[in-house]
Amino acid sequence: MTGKTHSSCGLLVGSLTIEYFNTDLFTSVTIITLAVISSLFPDICHTHSKIGRRFKLISFFIRLLFGHRTFTHSLLFICIITCLLYIIQTPYHYLITMILGLLSHVILDMLTPKGVKLFYPIPISVRFPMTFKTGGLVDISLASALSIGAIYVLFQPYFNQLFTHWLSFMVVQSSIII
């Protein structure tokens, strides 16, 4: 999947975490930032990816050591990151959003024909029965749908308020006409 699809999913993951923990503005902004970064992070193994371009040297060595979509796209990697975050006593809501961001990346890449080495170091490629080409129509549509979902979750109270106002306006209008 493209970086855009991964970051859109990160945005949705962050929005849902904010909604669940009902956080203040500063925490919410941090959650969204961490969710988007962690949703892109596994592609550090690819020098041309969004995150790989920013950390070219690290990306180059990770690619050299493990190859593309292997260690950084595995359950082992997610477990190591979780343990590290737990050891440095990362607040619970940040920890959850980062794990979900990483997981969302791996799940989305499992929708591509190449799949991921989910059980690395066991060299089995895991993918869903139905797969889609990276950068194809489904990929682009998915990015848009995830972004719309994230915006809806973030602004849900305002949408609900707007809908209630619109509904009461329509009721008043129709009672005037009757």
C-alpha to C-alpha distance for 139 and 73, rounded to whole angstroms: 19
d(CA 126, CA 111): 9
Q: Is 43 in the site for Zn ion (CB under 5 A)?
A: yes
Q: How far is the CB of 43 from Zn ion (least distance, A)?
A: 4
40 CB contacts (<8 Å, ≥6 apart)? Answer: 3, 6, 7, 10, 49, 50, 51, 105
What minimum distance in Å lies between the beta carbon of 68 and Zn ion? 8
**Closer to Zn ion by Cβ: residue 43 or 139:** 43
Residue closer to Zn ion by CB (options 99, 151) is 99
| Count of chain residues binding Zn ion (CB under 5 A) | 2
Within residues 96-115, the interface with Zn ion by CB under 5 A covers 109
Q: Tell me which residue of 107, 147, 104, 143 sits closest to 127, measured CA to CA.
A: 107
Shortest Cβ distance from residue 177 to Zn ion (Å)?
57
The Cα–Cα gap between 60 and 47 comes to: 6
Cβ distance to Zn ion smaller for residue 28 or 74: 74
Shortest Å, Cβ 26 to Zn ion = 30
Binding site for Zn ion (CB under 5 A): 43, 109
